[in-house]
Structure 1
Amino acid sequence: MSEHSSRTSVHKRSDSTPRSVAALRWLAPLLTAACLLPTPALAQSGGAQAAAAQAGAAAPLVRGLPDFTELVEQVGPAVVNIRTTAKARTARSDNPADEEMQEFFRRFFGVPIPRQGPRQGPPGQGQSEEEAVPRGVGSGFIVSSDGFVMTNAHVVEGADEVTVRLTDKREFKARVVGADKRTDIAVLKLDATGLPAVRLGDVSRLKVGEWVIAIGSPFDLDNTVTAGIVSAKARDTGDLVPFIQTDVAINPGNSGGPLINLRGEVVGVNSQIYSRSGGYMGISFAIPIDEASRVADQLRTSGRVVRGRIGVQIGEVTKDVAESLGLGKAAGALVRSVEDGSPAGKAGLEAGDIVTRFDGKPVEKWNDLPRLVGKTAPGTKTTIQVFRRGSMRDLSVTVAELEAEAAARPASTEPAPAKPAAPATVSLLGLTVSDLSAKQREELKVKGGVRVDAVDGAGGRAGLREGDIILAVANTEITNLRQFEAVVGKLDKSKPVNLLFRRGEWAQYAVIRPGK
């Protein structure tokens, strides 16, 4: 940054009282240090030299402040405003007074007067007609000079017509090439060439604390620039994508616009905000551009995104569970259920397994697994590492294709078990359990286990319920009641014990502390 621009920044900061106070607080230590210098040195320096010394000492305070003007001039022309409309059937009136009232509301309020529905009357009045109704406003950016535009899938979802407006006021009817709801990315095509395009950056080089800006159309205000810093990377919100978290102001209409670093490169696609009011509250999320580009390339090639699947339902591995299992640290993905006939089932995965690596890549958090599997091409044969009952093992799995729309699985109804003939009360764990009949095992599709008939004490505090099926205790697979009693009888009462149990279709772990 030039010296001139640095001084200008200081001048602007002094325009308002609160910022002037802040500036004086920064300068106070410098003034104090100056007062401590020997008097002869001050006398020899002279007025001009003292002023220069003070200016030189103050420079570092503003040297790091960025100037976004060149970035906006460089990237701004490639950022577009997106408007969508949907066709709706409305009542048409032949009454001139009604049409005048409609025009009044359009011109002064920006919206049509609410229609009351078709009125009964002579032929030609109250007829239904199809009308293009404004649906929403968003943002996007041009990724190639031949007219391909990237935006959010939710910006164009349900739209019958998409209009893209450039900063030079040119407008184009856009064709939706494809949209992917899972990552919230869509690609549009404009019938134009020689358009300004953005440069894509490297997300791996992005650092927390780095300055970034967003350009878009919040509240339909074109070409609005907001700035902030990267607050976090790989932020998990339960979605398929690990987001870039920033404190850049993002509001309705910013969706689909670019997140830009100081090199003028797009590093993310603004997609979500954390809000309790519907407006910006200081936290916003952007889709990393490498993830967005991977999806966009598939949309441009085939109009859809192909992902892999192995057929498991997974959950988080908590610290208590990891320690009780001997896993070491809370990492991996807990397999809660395995679909019949799925790649995971054919590979030998079982409920209760903890997936620690997939295709040689570590699974640090539970939602790393669906991302790794999703990126794998269907038909690929790879290795999956699992932690099962105290030891690691490698399984070979062939990845299948994830359906475009996952079919809803019917809710399972737990078969009513026959009344147990000989329940056993285990006071140490606070559980009353019984054997499963052959019919129950067949209906539940389990090889063994015992059923919880009553819960008290430590078992109740750990969250066990009547009807749960205990599959393993202390990393030991349970086949029947006798084995259960033998395993529990050898437990150390002073140490917590892990139980793998099934509730409905889902398997999970509980940690019971017998002494508490």
Structure 2
Amino acid sequence: MAKRFLVTLGSAFLFLAWTTMAQARIPLPDITELVEKDGPAVVNISTTKTIKAQEGARDLFEQFRNKRGGPMDDFFDQFEKHFGPQGRGNGKGQKQRSMGSGFVISADGYIVTNNHVVDGADEVKVQFRHNEKPLTAKIIGRDQETDLALLKIDGKSNLPYLEFGDSGKMKVGEWVLAIGNPFGLENTVTLGIVSAKGRIIGAGPFDNFIQTDASINPGNSGGPLIDLDGKVVGINTAIVASGQGIGFAIPSNMAKDVIAQLRDGKKVQRGWLGVTIQDIDENTAKALGLENTKGALISSVIEGQPAAKGGIKTGDVITAVAGQKIENSNELLRHIAAIRPGESVELSVTRKGSPVTVSVTLGERDAKKLAQNTPDQGDDNGAEGDQTASALGLSVRSLSAKEAKALGMDKVQGLLITEVADGSEAEQADVRPGDVILEVNQRPVASPEDFKKVIGEDGKKKGVVMLLIKRQSQTVFRTVPLTDSK
């Protein structure tokens, strides 16, 4: 018994010694002065907007109201009493209120927050710490694609404010603190580290979030993520609802340019190439003869747009923009968007295994024009003679004129995929029935014989087949590894 006690006591001493050494190596920061200095510049933002009654509910009301004379008469009488005759409401709508955070960036009252905090607001109120009376703010500008908004309080000249830092210099593991109003709790401070950088969470086209474990909750949106120098390195924006200690912030280096344009009263302008792009996986790199998966693959070039005018071609891989290396398609999108329309940019391209330099004068990105229409593909009753490529697990045949027209194609070209075998390599590569194969390993195919020839020669040599596919209104690349089946 005594021996067991000594072992337990010894383990406890070892644990305490290890904990003490760990704390000595990594001291926790004292942020009291930092909070006192930066806290007054963080504000609570409350909004009010009017939600109108839905037309569908009115139509439903009319449908039942016209069948009066039953047990629901009392209900309809009360409904008309409160919401107006014929169920059409009193015209005032309902008031919806929401809350968020923000921070002052200049002594004269400019405030940064998230677009989703103030989107659709009829009224915006700003509450400073220890100030009983909220102030009215006007929306100077909003940018939906980065979820940023700029507000302004008039009549102020000596407000506390925060400065932007350099988010590009932040390293994973560095201390950061978040100040905001989670659940309406004024000026709440949380401390954590930068957990990761460059996170893509599907929030928008320019995802490049800083991930942090500093606690962020509903109401923190729009508040600052601050480094230990007291500079804003991020704008807190999103959380993982089912997780704990996982929050995301817009990097300050992305926000600074957007906010500057909004402050100048300008529409946010972004560069535009006029291409569709996709990432490169190992099989695609193998098919293209690339050494690695870095870069962005051009899956289509829009006719008449900057890329087409500059000589970019489908199948090109952009590896650098103005000398800055490109890791993936998302990074290409961000780099191009950061350049002003009208500027000329030099692109490093790999084309069929050879390096090429292309100069493109950028156009202007217009989010409203990016929506793609999905054409009706019509009836599948064209040419006959399906042929199977068992090595890929799909069946193809020549495309009919009717099918080409339904797909919006200017001419009959390519092969229609009529069947994809369950569990095949093609199915796993997201090749679908109804897709049209335009090229195989960057070679046009006009017949099933052409298709089999490329697979048997170049495909067999590389061990993979890269298909350029027409899918509804877009073209995409899909790479399928070859099996040993004949």
Number of aligned residue pairs: 440
Give 1:302's aligned amino acid.
G
Residue in 2 that maps onto 1:199: 163
Deviation at 1:153, TM superposition (A): 0.8
* CA offsets 1:402-425 (integer angstroms, 9 cap, x no match): 225336332123365763365555
Q: Which stretch shows the higher mean deviation, 248-257 or 355-364?
A: 355-364
212, 219, 224: which one aligns with 1:246: 212
Could you tell me how far apart the structure 1 residues matched to 2:97 and 2:162 are?
Answer: 27
1:146-166 deviations in Å (ceiling 9; x for gaps): 111111111111111111111
Alpha-carbon distance, 1:136 to partner:
0.7
Name 2:451's counterpart in structure 1: 484
- The answer as to 2:464 corresponding to 1:501 is no
Could you tell me which of 310, 314, 332 is aligned with 1:369?
A: 332
Aligned-partner Cα distance in 1 for 2:391–2:163? 64
Aligned residue type for 2:445? I
Q: In structure 1, give the amino acid aligned to 2:233.
A: V
Task: Describe the SS at the equivalent of 1:74.
Answer: helix
Q: 2-side partners of 1:298 and 1:133: how far apart?
A: 32
Q: Does the 8 Å CA contact 1:324/1:511 hold for their aligned counterparts? A: no
CA distance in 2, matches of 1:387, 1:22: 60
The SS at the match of 2:30 is coil
* Corresponding residue of 1:400: 363
Name the TM-score, length of structure 1 as normaliser: 0.76
Match of 1:258 in 2: 224
Cα displacement (A) at 1:122: 12
SS in 2 for 1:128: coil
Q: Hey, what's the Cα distance between the residues in 1 that align with 2:129 and 2:231?
A: 19
Determine if contact 1:89/1:128 at 8 Å carries over to the other structure.
no
Measure how far apart 1:341 and its partner are: 2.5
Counterpart-to-counterpart distance in 1, 2:234 and 2:84 = 57
Alignment match, 1:451 = 416
Q: Verify the 8 A CA contact 1:449 1:472 in the aligned structure 2.
A: yes
* SS across alignment from 1:444: coil
**1:212 aligns to what?**
176
Question: SS state of the match for residue 420, structure 1?
Answer: coil
Q: Residue 24 of structure 2 aligns with which residue?
A: 61
Residue identity over aligned pairs, in percent, reads 41
Residue 27 to residue 285, structure 1, CA distance change in 2 (3 Å): same
Give 2:483's aligned amino acid: P
Residue 227 (1) aligns with residue 194 (2)? no
Instruction: Return closer, same or farther for 1:73/1:446 CA change in 2, 3 Å cut-off.
Output: farther
Give 1:272 shift.
0.6
Q: Which secondary structure state, in structure 2, belongs to the residue aligned with residue 405 of structure 1?
A: helix
Q: 1:327 and 2:290 equivalent?
A: yes
1:290 deviation in Å?
1.6
Alignment-mate amino acid for residue 262 of structure 2: L
Q: Distance in 2 between matches of 1:121 and 1:397?
A: 59
The aligned runs of 1:114-513 (5 Å cut-off) are 119=81, 128=90, 130=92, 133-169=95-131, 170-191=133-154, 192-238=156-202, 239=204, 240-276=206-242, 281-403=244-366, 405-406=368-369, 408-414=371-377, 419-420=382-383, 424-436=387-399, 443-445=408-410, 448-456=413-421, 459=426, 462-491=429-458, 493=460, 496-502=463-469, 503-504=471-472, 505-513=474-482
Contact 2:214 2:245 in 1 (8 A): yes
Shift of 1:67: 1.1
Amino acid at match of 1:449: G
Which amino acid in the other structure matches residue 143 of structure 1?
A: I
User: Do 2:175 and 2:193's aligned partners in 1 also have CA atoms closer than 8 Å?
Assistant: yes
Give the deviation of 1:493 after TM superposition: 4.7
- Does the 8 A contact of 1:325 with 1:498 survive in 2? no
Instruction: State the Cα deviation string for residues 116-146 of structure 1 (Å, max 9, x = none).
Output: 86516999xx993748835211111110001
Q: Which deviates further from its counterpart, 427-436 or 355-364?
A: 427-436
Could you list the runs of 5+ residues in structure 1 that have no partner in the other structure? 1-20, 31-56, 91-115
> How big is the shift at 1:342?
2.1
Question: 1:494–1:515: 8 Å Cα contact kept in structure 2?
Answer: no
The CA deviation at 1:83 is 0.9
- Closer/same/farther in 2, CA of residues 381 and 22 from structure 1, 3 Å limit: farther
The normalised TM-score by structure 2 is 0.80
Q: What is the one-letter code of the residue matched to 2:307?
A: A
| SS of residue paired to 2:90 | strand
Query: What amino acid is aligned across from residue 160 of structure 2 in structure 1?
Result: P
- Judged with a 3 Å threshold, the aligned counterparts in structure 2 of structure 1 residues 173 and 303 are, in CA distance, closer, same or farther, namely farther
DSSP-derived class of the 2:81 partner: coil
Following superposition, the deviation at residue 387 of structure 1 comes to 3.1
Structure 1 residues 188 and 506, CA gap change in structure 2 (3 angstroms): same
Amino acid at match of 1:73: E
Aligned twin of 1:104: none
- What is the SS of the residue equivalent to 2:483? coil
Aligned to 1:76: 39
For the 8 Å contact 2:200–2:209, the answer to whether it is kept is yes
3-state secondary structure, aligned to 2:373: coil
- RMSD of Structure 2 on Structure 1 (CA): 3.4
Corresponding residue number in structure 1 for 2:483: 514
Indicate if the aligned counterparts of 1:352 and 1:509 stay in contact, CA closer than 8 A: no
Residues 83 and 89 in structure 2, CA contact (< 8 A), matched pair in contact too: no
Q: Residue 144 of structure 1 aligns to a residue in which SS? A: coil
* Residue-by-residue CA offset, 1:371-417 (whole Å, 9 max, x unaligned): 11111111122233333333333333221112253363321233657
For the residue of structure 2 that corresponds to 1:136, the secondary structure is strand
Q: Which runs of 5+ in 2 are unaligned?
A: 1-9, 54-77
Matched residues in 2 for 1:417 and 1:350: separation?
A: 31
How far 1:26 moved relative to its partner?
4.5
Q: Which moved more, 1:423-432 or 1:302-311?
A: 423-432
Distance 2:82 2:327 in 1: 65
Name the aligned partner's letter for residue 229 of structure 2: R
Question: Do the aligned partners of 1:137 and 1:155 also contact (CA within 8 Å) in 2?
Answer: yes
State the alpha-carbon separation in 1 of the partners of residues 192 and 460 from structure 2. Answer: 54
Deviations 1:86-110 (A, max 9, x none): 24679xxxxxxxxxxxxxxxxxxxx
Task: Kindly state the Cα deviation for residue 209 of structure 1 after the two structures are TM-superposed.
Answer: 0.7
Is the deviation greater in 309-318 or in 461-470? 461-470
Q: Equivalents in 1 of 2:456, 2:172: separation in Å?
A: 52
210 and 479 in structure 1: CA distance in 2 versus 1, 3 angstrom threshold: same
Task: Give the letter aligned to residue 511 of structure 1.
Answer: V
SS of the residue corresponding to residue 490 of structure 1 reads: helix
For residue 411 of structure 1, give the secondary structure of its aligned residue in structure 2. coil
